[in-house]
Structure 1
Amino acid sequence: MNGRIWEHGIPLMCRSAENVPGLRSMPVWPKEESPWLAAVEARQGEILAELMAVRKTSAPSGFQPYRDPIHPSGETRRAADGLGVEGVDKGMWNVLYLFLNHKQFEDNCIRFPKTVRAIEEAFPRHYSHAFFSALTPGSHIVKHQGPSNRMLRVWLPLCGFDKFRLRVGEQILEPKEGQAFVWDHSYEHEAWHEGSETRLVLIVDIWHPDLSDAEVKFLRTLQSCRLRAGKALAELEPWWKWEA
C-alpha cells in the first residue's frame, strides 16, 4: 500500500510492491505439493474437445494477440496497431480470456461451460485469471516476469507440445500433454516453440497456498479497490488535462 519493496535477494524474481514477504518461493513446484493436480489432469480431454469444437465454428474464435503494457524495454516490439507491446519477438501468441483481474468474460465463458466448471471445481482458490494460450510454430516468447509472488501459475498442457520449451528462472521444462504443473511466474521466464503444430494450454492462476483464507480475502479486496480506483481515474483524465 505504501509502495515499499521487499528486498528478497532471490535471483530472477520480480521486485514489486505487491510481493508478500515470507512466502515459500520455488520456480517450479514439486508435484507432491499439489495433489489436486490429478483432478485437473482428469479434465484435459473434455477441455481440449470443447476448445476444438469452438474453433471449428464459424463464429469468431475469441482469441486475441497477447499484449504487454508499453514499457521502455519493449519499444522494438510495439504492436503495429499501437495497442501495447508484443509478447513475442517472432511468431504469434494469442490468448482467449475467461477471467482477468476479477472480470469474467461472459461471452467466452458461455462458450466454454465445461472449462469454467473445471476451473471452479478442480483448481483451489483461483485468482480470477484464467485463459487459453495459443503459440504458433517458430515462436519465441521474450523473457519477462509476473507482477507478484502472491499467486502461482498452473498449466494444463492440451496439445502441440512437441519441441516446446519453457524456462522458469534457471530451469528448463519440456511440458507434456495432459501433465499439469505449478510454477511461480514472478520468476523471469521465456518460451520457445520449435514444433510443427500450434501449442495450446489452459492457464489458471491460483492464490499462493501459504496465504490464509483471511489474507486472501484482504488482498482480493485491496485489488478490487485498486482496479475500481484506476477505472475512475481513467474516466477523469480528460478533466485533468482540461484543468492543466
Structure 2
Amino acid sequence: MSSEIRTIIAEGMQALAARDLPRAAGLLRQVAAGSPPDDFPWIALANAELALGQGDAAEAAIDRQLGREIRDVGALLLKGLLRERAGDARAAISFYRTAQAQMAFDGRVPPELAQLEAHARAYLASATDDFTGHLLGELGQDLSPAMREAVDLLTGKRQIHLQQPTMFYYPGLPQRRFYDPAEFPWLEAMLAHVPAMQDELAQVVADGDAGFDPYVRHNPDRPAPANHLLERKDWSAFYFWRDGAVVAENAARCPATMAALDLAPMPRIPSRSPNAHWSSLLPGTHIKPHCGMLNTRLICHIPVLTAPKCWLRVGSDTRTWEPGVPLVFDDSIEHEAKNDGPQRRVVLLFEIWRPEVPEEDRAAIARIFQAIGSYSSG
C-alpha cells in the first residue's frame, strides 16, 4: 500500500473520531473507489455512511467486510441493523442470531459493541413474539402439545435437550422428558402409603433429622466433585436402599415407606441397585443443571412434603411437586431443581427401568455394571 493511501485512511479515521462525518466519509470513499488495501476499514466507512443516512452505501461497505471476514461480529450486527431498518425482519433476525452465536463461541461481547448487542437482543425478543403470533395466526390455536413445542423450538422459545448420560448410553430410546404416571399402574398403590410416610417423616424430623445426610458426598478414594452442595445438608438424603442394600436402621424406622417401595419394580443389580431415599431440598437450595449417569432408567418422585415455589426442569419442560402427583422423568436429559419458597420439600426418590429396554438387554446391562464393579475392586 502506498504511503499516500495510508495517509488518506489515517486522516479519514481521525475525522471519524472527531465526528467530522462528511470529511471522514469523503476520504474513505476516495480510497474505497480505487483498489483498497486488504486491511481497509470497511466498518469505519459503514459507520460514517450510516451516520450520514446513506443506508445503501453503509450496507455495501458492510458486505465488503463480511466478504473478507464472514464471522466479523461488528459487521454482522451492523448488517442486522441495516436489514432491520429496511424492514427485512427475517434477514435482520438471521444476522443478529449469527452475531450472538459468534459472541457465545468467543465467550465475550466486545465493549464497543455492547449497546448494539443489547439492541439486537431486544429486537430478537420482540421479533420472536411477532413471528410466533404470525405463525399461530396462520396455524390456529388448536394444536397438539407436540406441535406447540415444535413451534416453540422453531421460534427459539425452547431449546432441544437430548439424552446425554455421563456414563452409559443405550441407543434408540425415545427422547421423553416426563412420563405420564398413568403408564405405571403400581404408582397408585404407592400413593396410598403417602399419609403413613408423612407420619414417618414427621417423626424423623422431630428426632432432629437423624439419618439425613448430604446428598453430595466426597468419597476419599475419588476426586472431590466440583459441586457447590458438597457435604451440605441443603440437599440431603435419607436412604432406604443404597447400592443394592437395605439401610437397616432407616428401614426399621419407616415400615410404611418400605412397604411402598416393595410395590415399585426397582432394578436389582448387586452392589448397584435398588437405590431409594427421601430427597430433601431446603429453602433457597438450587440443584444446578446436570445429567444423570445412564439413560436406561427413569427417576420417580413421590411427593411426601410439598412446598410452594419449588420446581423441577427437565430439558425445556418445568414441573412443580403437587400432592398426590408423582413425577417420572429421564434424568439423562439435562435437569435442575430449585426451592424458591420458604418451606422444605421432601420426595421419595427411586429408580426404575425404562419400559422400552427389553428384558434381555436389562440383564446384559446388569452384567456390564457388575463387570465394572469387579474391575474397580480388583
Bin for the TM-score computed over the shorter chain? 0.7 to 0.9
Residues 2-27 of structure 1 deviation map (CA, whole Å, 9 limit, x = unaligned) = xxxxxxxx734214451211223301
Tell me if 1:64 matches 2:206.
no
Contact 2:165 2:291 in 1 (8 A): no
Taking the aligned partners of 1:17 and 1:44, their CA distance within structure 2 comes to 33
Taking the aligned partners of 2:303 and 2:249, their CA distance within structure 1 comes to 23
2:322 to 176, 183, 208: 176
Residues 174-201 of structure 1 deviation map (CA, whole Å, 9 limit, x = unaligned) = 1202211211111111111122211111
The number of residue pairs the alignment matches comes to 210
Instruction: Single out whichever of 210-219 and 147-156 deviates more from structure 2.
Output: 210-219
State the match for 1:130 in structure 2.
276
Deviation at 1:117, TM superposition (A): 1.8
Query: Please, which runs of 5 or more residues in structure 1 have no aligned partner?
Result: 1-9, 71-81, 234-244
Taking the aligned partners of 2:372 and 2:259, their CA distance within structure 1 comes to 28
Larger Rg: 2
Give runs of ≥4 in structure 1 deviating > 3 Å.
82-91
Taking the aligned partners of 2:266 and 2:161, their CA distance within structure 1 comes to 28
State the match for 2:14 in structure 1.
none
Taking the aligned partners of 2:201 and 2:258, their CA distance within structure 1 comes to 12
Q: Cα–Cα, structure 1 residues 142 and 17, in superposed 2: closer, same or farther, change >3 Å?
A: closer
Could you say which structure has the higher strand fraction? 1
Identical residues among aligned pairs (%): 28
State the match for 1:50 in structure 2.
200
Q: Cα–Cα, structure 1 residues 125 and 93, in superposed 2: closer, same or farther, change >3 Å?
A: closer
Contact 1:160 1:195 in 2 (8 A): no
Deviation at 1:100, TM superposition (A): 2.6
Helix, strand or coil: the match of 2:373?
helix
Tell me if 1:100 matches 2:246.
no
State the match for 2:257 in structure 1.
115
State the match for 2:182 in structure 1.
32
Taking the aligned partners of 1:159 and 1:36, their CA distance within structure 2 comes to 21
Taking the aligned partners of 1:68 and 1:85, their CA distance within structure 2 comes to 11
Deviation at 1:220, TM superposition (A): 1.9
Taking the aligned partners of 2:229 and 2:277, their CA distance within structure 1 comes to 18
Taking the aligned partners of 1:194 and 1:91, their CA distance within structure 2 comes to 16
Matched AA of 2:203: A
TM, length-normalised to structure 2: 0.51
Taking the aligned partners of 1:91 and 1:12, their CA distance within structure 2 comes to 30
Tell me if 1:193 matches 2:343.
no
Taking the aligned partners of 1:197 and 1:183, their CA distance within structure 2 comes to 24
Tell me if 1:158 matches 2:308.
no
Q: Cα–Cα, structure 1 residues 85 and 69, in superposed 2: closer, same or farther, change >3 Å?
A: farther
Instruction: Single out whichever of 87-96 and 145-154 deviates more from structure 2.
Output: 87-96
Taking the aligned partners of 2:242 and 2:190, their CA distance within structure 1 comes to 20
Helix, strand or coil: the match of 1:134?
strand
Helix, strand or coil: the match of 2:274?
strand
TM, length-normalised to structure 1: 0.76
Helix, strand or coil: the match of 1:67?
coil
Taking the aligned partners of 1:206 and 1:87, their CA distance within structure 2 comes to 28
Matched AA of 1:143: P
Residues 217-242 of structure 1 deviation map (CA, whole Å, 9 limit, x = unaligned) = 33223323322332x24xxxxxxxxx
State the match for 1:78 in structure 2.
none
Matched AA of 2:285: S
User: Per chain length, whose mean CA-contact separation is higher, i.e. which structure has more relative contact order (CA < 8 Å, sep 6+)?
Assistant: 1
Contact 1:68 1:87 in 2 (8 A): no
Contact 1:102 1:128 in 2 (8 A): yes
Helix, strand or coil: the match of 1:116?
helix
Deviation at 1:37, TM superposition (A): 2.1
Helix, strand or coil: the match of 2:287?
strand
